[in-house]
Chains A and B, each alone.
Chain A
Amino acid sequence: MNPRQFLNPWVLFGAAVLLTAAALHNDYYLTLINFIGIHTLLVVGLNLLMGYAGQISLGHAAFFGLGAYTSGILTATYGVDPWLAMLAGMLVCGLTAFLIGVPALKLRGYYLAMATLGFGIILYIVFNEAESWTGGPSGLTGIPDLSLFGFKLDTPKRLFLLIWPVLGGIMALSANLVDSRTGRALRALHEGEAAAQSLGVNTSRLKLMIFVWSALYASLAGSLYAHTLNFIAAASFGFMFSIKLVTMVVLGGMASIWGSFLGAAVLTVLPEMLTMFHDYEVIIFGVILMVVMIFLPRGLVRGIMDLWEFRRYKKEGGIIG
């Protein structure tokens, strides 16, 4: 194997996962990393929609919740096999996304943002009010552990070994999608809808496809979340979580699969680190949101790279082109 191949990001990713599994035994860090994984899954999907297709969604938490509740209700209340329930969740989510997407994706800019926001809030209220199904605000208990080949995935370590390889697969799949013909069409769409149409791209079908696609990721993430916590409550799927997801996308960098991981990781770990500030945590979170958006609108990675390149150019006396 030559060194170039060895530096392939996917190989590195696999190595990092294996290394973490072998060396990390602290349940707290594993749980934290599992949540990072679940959030990354959500953000990768949302990034396909926002970064590549250029469509905003302020209601993505609803799909996350729909997946989680379908899995939760089917397994806890009706005793359906968790894997089957997971598929059912994706089916429900995909179908909902399709039905909402057809009228919603005709809208643009703030109108699309508002439609997705409204959809998200309506579903949140349904999760809260349909107590007989969802357990309402007190939550749905008794969601069983997943099991694989007779192994019960009941510890953070075992869940880690499910979530991260799944995530790796999804990220690889997304990277492939982005590099494919569809991906090129998507980028054309992002640059300008009229231009893309003139190139023979069926833009409304493409937008819808990506919308459904990202809902499927969210559903999968929701199911994994339900089986990780063994408990879900409506409060996790509200408006603020949708906003947090969008922030993760932007923080990590639009149209960047790896950036999605970074955005999810930073925004999942940050509140944990801010707990020492007690009541000031919220203020700091707000300031970070604003400062990053003002000074690094292209996300952390590219923002820092830009700054770095800027300095290097200055040092070499070059002119920024």
Chain B
Amino acid sequence: MELASLLQYLISGLTNGAIYALIALGFVIIYHATTIINFAQGEMVMLGALCAISIYHHYPSLPVAFVGGVVLVTIVGILFERLALRPVRDPNPLTLIIITVGGAVFLKGVAMILWGKEAYSLPSFSGDTPFHLGGATLLPQNLWVMGLTALVLLALESFFRLTLTGKAMRACAYNPRAARLVGISQSRMVLLSFALAAALGAGAGILIAPLTLGVYDMGTMVGLKGFCAAILGGLGSSFGGVLGGLILGVAESLATGLISSGYRDAVAFFILLLVLFIRPQGLIRGGS
């Protein structure tokens, strides 16, 4: 029984961790290209979930809802970069933090008007019959979340390391001036990174909607945890971000199960402080 419980905590932790990881990847991508932290990333998750749910209500096909949600949110991400970040005159971190927080507040408000304050559900991708695994159970949706996270990580890593565009994006973060000198259009890279991050966030939102339901204020906490994960992983590395997410998820789940459920959210931030104070460069050194 004790072992089965432990396994259950692990499964629950890995699923949540994979979600944090997906969101952390969004932070990492934007940071890669711009060294901006986009506090509105969590809202992309929310928008993805709610858009997909709305599409599903009109046209009940999950693949259509998934693609439609991702496309819509990607457009939002592009608009956000063009309208709110491009015109900034004085791009220091503080200004950018406040603008993205303002963007998050704005998007949340719009979602509240469009969808109201109720939660909505989305059916699971492949049913709700749980698998049994050594006394523990897991849903097909858990596997979807973990599997897709792994896939996205692989795709991203190869994009950054193998393609020209990916390398150009990394160059922009490393040294914008030098990147410009060799003919990389920085503004295109920034736009691309926001579009990519928004798409990822939306995908994460749609993936978790069957497990967590979709509601207009779901983005904030999930965004912060994702950010925690990104920092844990050293901000610059996608692999680090995923590792950070998984560590956070498992630690939270174990703390809930073995210590106390009241301080669950504090665990993530406590680990964050510990890592920052002891090893401020993150668990894995940034990719740049």
Contact = CB atoms under 8 A, between A and B. Distances in A.
A touching B, CB within 8 angstroms? yes
A244 B84 CA distance: 19
Main secondary structure of the interface of A (DSSP, over half): helix
A121 B109 contact: no
A287 B99 CA distance: 9
Given A114-B231, A114-B276, A290-B102, A297 B112 contact: no
A285 B88 contact: no
A185 interface: no
Contacts of B32: none
Contact of B84 (A279, A280, A282, A290): A290
Given A239-B224, A280-B113, A250 B263 contact: no
A294 interface: yes
A138 B199 CA distance: 39
A297 B273 contact: no
A118 B102 contact: no
B144 interface: no
Interface string A276-289: 00011111011111
Nearest to B100: A290
Nearest to B106: A286
Interface stretch (A103-111, A152-160, A165-173): A103-111
Interface stretch (A64-72, A80-88, A122-130): A122-130
Contacts of B89: 294-295, 297
Contacts of B272: 114-115, 118
A301 to B, nearest CB: 16
Main secondary structure of the interface of B (DSSP, over half): helix
Interface in B199-246: 220, 224, 227-228, 231, 235
B269 A279 contact: no
Given A129-B262, A279-B112, A287-B106, A294 B94 contact: no
A129 B280 contact: no
Interface residues of B, number: 41
- Residues of A in contact with B, size category: 35 or more
B258 interface: no
Contact of A289 (B105, B220, B276): B105
B121 interface: no
Contacts, number: 125
A75 to B, nearest CB: 26
Contact of A283 (B101, B109, B273, B277): B109
Contacts of B113: 279-280, 283
A113 interface: yes
A282 B114 CA distance: 13
B97 interface: yes
B157 interface: no
Given A110-B235, A111-B276, A118 B269 contact: yes
A129 B108 CA distance: 27
Contacts of A48: none
Interface string A46-65: 00001000001010000000
Nearest to B99: A293
Interface in B233-288: 235, 262-263, 265-266, 269-270, 272-273, 276-277, 280
27 contacts: A56-B94, A103-B276, A104-B277, A110-B93, A111-B276, A113-B93, A114-B227, A114-B276, A115-B272, A117-B224, A118-B273, A119-B269, A122-B266, A125-B265, A126-B266, A129-B262, A246-B98, A283-B113, A285-B109, A286-B107, A286-B108, A288-B102, A289-B106, A290-B102, A293-B95, A294-B99, A297-B95
Interface of A: 50, 56, 58, 103-104, 106-107, 109-111, 113-115, 117-119, 121-122, 125-126, 129, 239, 243, 246-247, 250, 279-283, 285-290, 293-295, 297-298
Given A122-B266, A250-B94, A283-B110, 12 more contacts: A111-B231, A111-B280, A125-B262, A125-B265, A129-B262, A239-B224, A243-B101, A279-B113, A281-B109, A283-B109, A286-B102, A295-B87
